[in-house]
């Protein structure tokens, strides 16, 4: 039977980097990994090689646990870091607090302690709003600080900012988890290796993203400090995140990271966001409201403009009450895509 394409393959929008397809180099890597038999459940040469590659990126021998999706990575990471009475401090806008339908609470039984932030980034002072009550049997114990890099608001922590957080957290007996769904975009923005804002500044466990950067569907929990995490080999199975044909998860992450594809793709997505920002920054009626530091642009449009634009380009409201919208760029966003979108925005806001 001939293959049928059910969508317009030339169509691209600005709703989410999850809308993008699979990078052709990742698809080729999957095809190359497909021949013959390999031992299941992670005892394959691709998963072994992935450990070596991550060692290189993070500067030390690390434990790598490939999983299917980012929610699974975050839930597993936090579950491995916390006892049943533990809690995680996070930004109010963090993905674990807003966009995972209560999975940390319902699946892992984890109490989240959210903190309002002006730009998506936690600081030691903001952490201290929830970092209290140790020894109080009536309060879930704050034992992890979870940060997102890059943040849900498109901002990026500097290594110094993360170092200040980890030092503050560790001094109070807390561990630090980094949600790296867009870790590649952060590295590209900072122009630094991954270890510079993880291992070298005291992060303990990373939820390592691949899907938003061109994978078909592959993430990982990367344990940088073995003392910060336990039980992952059991928890991954319990939470239905153990791939039997794990070579195909690992092959995707290898395609991205055993070379520079991850960085090329992230730099391109970031550059397209900057191009979009520059294109709309001076348009009448358009106000860019947050720093553009990765692959996201947040703007406020005149009433009704967003709905008219969405007839041609898909994107989401961030705050419908204020008219703020979010535009995301991907590894496959082209200059022509951006320019056409800018032209449409100019027409609808004139």
Pair (191, 125) in one structural domain: yes
pLDDT at 167 (0 to 100): 98
Total domains, the chain = 2
| Domain around 301 | 261-349
Average of per-residue pLDDT values in the chain? 97
Residues 187-224 have pLDDT tens digits of: 999 999 999 999 999 999 999 999 999 999 999 999 99
Pair (224, 107) in one structural domain: yes
Let me know: does 209 contact 180? Beta carbons within 8 Å: yes
Please give the average per-residue pLDDT across 239-263, as a whole number. 98
Q: ∠ CA(23), CA(151), CA(129), 5° rounding?
A: 155
Question: Is 66 part of a structural domain of the chain?
Answer: yes
pLDDT at 4 (0 to 100): 80
Please give the average per-residue pLDDT across 335-345, as a whole number. 97
Question: Is 276 part of a structural domain of the chain?
Answer: yes
CB atoms within 10 A of CB 329: 30
Pair (157, 284) in one structural domain: no
Domain edge (last residue) among 206, 233, 257: 257
Pair (174, 66) in one structural domain: yes
Please give the average per-residue pLDDT across 268-281, as a whole number. 98
Does the pLDDT of residue 292 top 90, yes or no?
A: yes
Pair (342, 295) in one structural domain: yes
Question: Residue 10's pLDDT band (boundaries 50, 70, 90)?
Answer: confident
Does the pLDDT of residue 2 top 80, yes or no?
A: no
Question: Residue 1's pLDDT band (boundaries 50, 70, 90)?
Answer: low
Portion of the chain with pLDDT greater than 90, in percent: 97
pLDDT at 350 (0 to 100): 83
- The CATH number assigned to the domain holding 54 equals 3.40.640.10
CA distance 122 to 116: 9
Question: Residue 49's pLDDT band (boundaries 50, 70, 90)?
Answer: very high
- The CATH number assigned to the domain holding 269 equals 3.90.1150.10
Residues 135-167 have pLDDT tens digits of: 999 999 999 999 999 999 999 999 999 999 999
Pair (157, 279) in one structural domain: no
pLDDT at 209 (0 to 100): 98
pLDDT at 87 (0 to 100): 98
Domain edge (last residue) among 236, 257, 278: 257
Pair (108, 212) in one structural domain: yes
Domain edge (last residue) among 205, 223, 257: 257
The distance from CA 185 to its chain's CA centroid, rounded to whole angstroms, is 9
Q: Smallest Cα–Cα separation from 17: which of 275, 295, 330?
A: 330
Let me know: does 95 contact 148? Beta carbons within 8 Å: yes
For residue 88, the cross-strand partners are 112, 144
């Amino acid at each position: 039977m001939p293959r049928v394409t059910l969508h317009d393959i030339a169509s691209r929008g600005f709703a989410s980097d999850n809308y993008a397809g699979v990078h052709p180099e990742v698809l080729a890597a999957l095809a190359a990994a497909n021949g013959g038999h390999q031992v299941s459940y992670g005892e394959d040469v691709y998963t072994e090689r992935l450990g070596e590659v991550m060692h290189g990126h993070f500067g030390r021998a690390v434990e790598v646990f490939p999983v299917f999706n980012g929610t699974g990575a975050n839930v597993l990471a936090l579950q491995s870091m916390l006892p049943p009475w533990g809690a995680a401090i996070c930004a109010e806008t963090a993905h674990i607090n807003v966009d995972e339908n209560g999975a940390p609470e319902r699946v892992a039984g984890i109490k989240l302690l959210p903190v309002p932030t002006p730009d998506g980034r936690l600081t030691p002072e903001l952490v201290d709003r929830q970092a209290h009550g140790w020894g109080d049997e009536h309060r879930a114990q704050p034992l992890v600080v979870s940060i997102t890099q890059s943040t849900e608001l498109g901002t990026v922590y500097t290594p110094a900012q993360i170092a200040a957080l980890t030092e503050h957290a560790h001094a109070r007996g807390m561990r630090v988890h980094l949600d790296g769904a867009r870790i590649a975009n952060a590295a590209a923005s900072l122009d630094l290796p991954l270890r510079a804002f993880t291992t070298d500044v005291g992060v303990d466990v990373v939820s390592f993203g691949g899907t938003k950067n061109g994978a078909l569907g592959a993430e990982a929990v990367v344990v940088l400090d073995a003392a910060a995490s336990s039980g992952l080999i059991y928890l991954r199975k319990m939470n239905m995140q153990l791939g039997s044909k794990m070579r195909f998860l690992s092959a995707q992450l290898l395609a991205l990271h055993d070379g520079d594809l991850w960085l090329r793709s992230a730099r391109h997505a970031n550059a397209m966001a900057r191009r979009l920002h520059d294109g709309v920054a001076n348009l009448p009626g358009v106000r860019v409201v947050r720093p553009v530091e990765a692959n996201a642009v947040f703007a406020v449009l005149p009433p009704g403009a967003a709905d008219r634009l969405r007839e041609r380009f898909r994107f989401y409201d961030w705050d419908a009450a204020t008219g703020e919208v979010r535009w995301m760029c991907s590894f496959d966003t082209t200059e022509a895509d951006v320019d056409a979108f800018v032209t449409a925005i100019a027409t609808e806001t004139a």
